Chain A
Amino acid sequence: MSGFNISRRTMLAGSAMLLASTAMPDIGWAQTPKKGGRLVLAADSEPRNLNPAIVASNGVFFISSKIVETLAEASFDGKDGLAPRLALSWEGAADGLSVTFKLRDGVKWHDGKPFTSADVAFSALQIWKPLQNLGRTVFKDLASVDTPDDLTAVFKFAKPTPFQLIRNALPALSSVVPKHIYEVGKIEDNPANNAPIGTGPFKFGEYKAGQYYRLTKNTDYWGKDEPYLDEIIYQVLPDRTSAASALEAEEIQLAAFSAVPLADLDRISKVPGLKVISKGYEGLTYQLVVEINHRRKELADLKVRQAIAHAIDKEFVVKTVFLGYAATATGPVPKNDPQFYTADVPTYPFDVAKANALLDEAGYKKGPDGKRFTLKLLPAPYFNETKQFGGYLRQALAAIGIDAQLVNNDSAAHIKAVYTDHAFDLAVGPPVFRGDPAISTTILVQSGIPDGVPFSNQGGYKNDALDALIAKASETLDTSARTDLYKEFQKEVAADLPLINVAEWSFISVARDTVGNIANNPRWAVSNWADTYLAG
């Protein structure tokens, strides 16, 4: 089963994204890693709160995953796609009411105190469940954590919770922080949120605002001979064009998370000494989604939503906006997901004539100026690609007589306008698929979510059948039955179009040839880098 998944995952990642594989030399696991050296890389944002147990987001993980470790990490070839970190094994009870973790022995916190099951219990109950953005959903039924000994933690759930979900949540949601540091005072105000203390291969060194973060080697790390690097420097380079120049000038050795603009990759792949790598982000798939405000009477009509879906040329979006570094989407689960994806859903091929016919049928005839109605379109400002797709969508809608007026906002204003004020008709959003639809995908279409929850269904969409399906899947323990329910969920979403999935994409790293062991797991950029090294 898992062997099949891996080959399918690798194949899909390779074929769907058609990435610059020719420019990808052997990734270097054949070489013997060298010790020492300082890795300098580009960072495009400066998160202030570096506690990954509270803020489970890729921007925070990028830095703090080297300092604070999770119970397990995603893996290309491990069982269920996982590799052990702080936990050595995990076992779910048949009734779905408990999960038992066996923890790693001989692990020490950066301040010298031993790591025990009490830290896991504290992190889960005091932080993941009440405070963490994603943990609130996944661990909502966690009642207690038993610690029969220092190396065993038993999670007890009040309601049956699918083991598959807990497993899939481990890489992103299970950052363990030290109890002895956090039990004093208010967790949100703890100074360790800005200078984290963990068990990871690197210790927090210093942070100079606007300049850099410095991490130093943890000489007491549990991994044999690891880490190889002495230091990691995150050079703050907020300007996207500067990362490419800094790489060429050898000021930095690595630019992850597509810090080098896609349009520059072709040129940079020809620069001697630099390599373009598209692997290592399989577990971090972003989805390009058109969010719909169903309060607008035109958009509440399924025919209009179908017309919009038919008006979008997904191939063009992948080719032009993403320059081929993306895949077209069919529904709310990305194609590269090995567990849940199904292609058996209603599809909406690019067809302007059909879109026009659907709008006529719905009763929205073209006026004398060729326009049917006007919509407010808010593209999310976080990525160049979401902004560009906003420009494309405006043109695509113009072709079917819908006049879309673009409204540009900064990040904070966009989140407020869409998720709190609902002051939008259409929005372009980049939700993340995190390995299980229950983590951050079903919330995009489920009803009954309070106003102001970002990246959730704030479009006023309500579909009782879909809600029932989501509720049923959340308490189905059998893995294959649960997977089938989520396949049903994909069909229902693609049929009723609470939102329109356009494309799914991931990131590209550009690195010097000397950086070894890059992209050796599906969440490489946000993993612990214990085995990363600098050759030569």
Chain B
Amino acid sequence: MSRFRRFLRTPEAVAGAIILAALIAMALSASLLFPGDPQAIAGPALLPPFQDWSLPLGTDRLGRDVLAELFHGARTSLAVGLAAAAAALVVGSVVGTLAGFADGLVDEVLMRITEAFQTVPSFLLALAFVSVVGPSLGIVVIAIALGTWTGPARVARAEVLSIRERDYVASARAVGMHPLAIAFREVLPNALPPVLAMSSVIVAAAILTEAALSFLGLGDPNRVTWGGMIAEGRAVLRTAPFLSIVPGIALVLTVLGVYLAGEGVVETTAVRRGLS
């Protein structure tokens, strides 16, 4: 309870949480408020915002409802952002824990692989992967995770290196627990907090990467994405700037919200740790 109250005391965290809540509400209500295909043609093309209240944010070049696209786009952005971040965190912490706990050759091999991935800019990696395999939602998630799991892996390894020398690990060994059981039951849970602290940055980066891929035409063309909306609006930037600005603002707010809320969580847990 006190933790929650502390969280509410930081204004950034509250702002972030509100934005995030609104975003999740948008994503969840998308098919209730805008049932059917968001890409269906709903009205005359290039209708400016605030002209027709049945289409409050206007329509795009084919006459699709921008508001409906925005709501359904929130779904894609959040889904890809969370899925990619989750995949990156899981893969990263498993690799990090194995490397840190196993030591020796396994550690060397896993860390060299991690470094190999780190030397390639993660966006280029995603770009190359999607253009080879072909764009679809699952592939985009894998492509983004491919470039982001290295951060969590290094942090997890560093934590594990210090934890494995602790007494309770030694006693677990003494009672004859299987090394893998020790690694994943005893060590990993305790190494997780600093890894999870990275999650907000990873989610935000994943959402941006997804948008950038869609902007370059490498998103799933059968789904509405904000990046795709911005790219499509770019052709008519001078005559209908709202087509790029609206999803652009949504993107900025989302990334900001995720980041602020994440920071808030980290701060409150840090304070708690400091007190205890």
Residues of A that sit less than 8 Å from B by CB? 240-241, 244, 261, 263-264, 266-267, 319-321, 381, 384, 388, 391-392, 394-395, 398, 405-408, 410
Contacts and interface: CB of A to CB of B under 8 A. Distances in A.
Interface stretch (B94-102, B162-170, B231-239, B250-258): B231-239
A240 B238 CA distance: 12
Interface of B: 37, 39-41, 45-46, 61-63, 131, 134-135, 217-218, 221-222, 234-240
A398 B37 contact: yes
Contacts of A395: 37, 39-41, 62
Contact of A244 (B41, B61, B238): B238
24 contacts: A241-B235, A241-B238, A263-B61, A263-B240, A319-B45, A320-B62, A320-B63, A391-B39, A391-B62, A392-B41, A392-B62, A394-B39, A394-B222, A395-B37, A395-B39, A395-B41, A398-B40, A405-B222, A406-B221, A406-B222, A407-B221, A408-B217, A408-B218, A410-B131
Contact of B239 (A264, A321, A408, A410): A264
B237 A241 contact: yes
Contacts of A264: 236, 238-239
B134 A407 contact: yes
B165 to A, nearest CB: 52
Nearest to B219: A408
A263 B39 CA distance: 20
Contact of A384 (B41, B45, B46, B235): B235
Nearest to A404: B222
B61 A320 contact: yes
A240 B235 contact: yes
A111 B46 CA distance: 54
Contacts of A244: 238
A266 B235 contact: no
Contacts of B131: 410
B221 A388 contact: no
B237 A388 contact: no
Q: Is the interface of B mostly helix, strand, loop or mixed?
A: loop
Contacts of A381: 217
Contacts of A321: 61-62
B140 to A, nearest CB: 13
A134 B127 CA distance: 36
B271 to A, nearest CB: 48
A408 B221 contact: yes
Given A241-B237, A261-B236, A263-B61, 15 more contacts: A240-B235, A241-B234, A241-B238, A261-B235, A263-B46, A263-B235, A266-B239, A319-B45, A320-B61, A392-B41, A392-B62, A394-B222, A395-B39, A406-B222, A408-B218
Contacts of A263: 46, 61, 235-236, 239-240
A391 B221 CA distance: 9
Contacts of A405: 222
Contacts of B41: 392, 395
A240 B231 CA distance: 12
A240 B45 CA distance: 21
A394 B37 CA distance: 11
Nearest to B46: A263
Q: Which of B40, B131, B237, B238 has the most CB of A within 10 A?
A: B238
Nearest to B235: A261
Contacts of B235: 240-241, 261, 263, 384
A267 B238 contact: yes
Contacts of B45: 319-320
Report, nearest first, the 8 A-B pairs whose CB atoms are least far apart.
A406-B221, A263-B236, A320-B45, A408-B221, A263-B239, A261-B235, A406-B222, A395-B41
B225 to A, nearest CB: 12
Nearest to A260: B238
Q: Which of A244, A267, A408 has the most CB of B within 10 A?
A: A408
B4 to A, nearest CB: 43
A475 to B, nearest CB: 45
A181 B63 CA distance: 55
Nearest to A403: B222
Contacts of B218: 408
B229 to A, nearest CB: 12
Given A263-B235, A267-B238, A320-B63, A408 B39 contact: no
A406 B37 CA distance: 14
A119 to B, nearest CB: 44
A263 B46 CA distance: 10
Contact of B62 (A388, A398, A408): A388
Q: Which of B63, B135, B239 has the most CB of A within 10 A?
A: B239
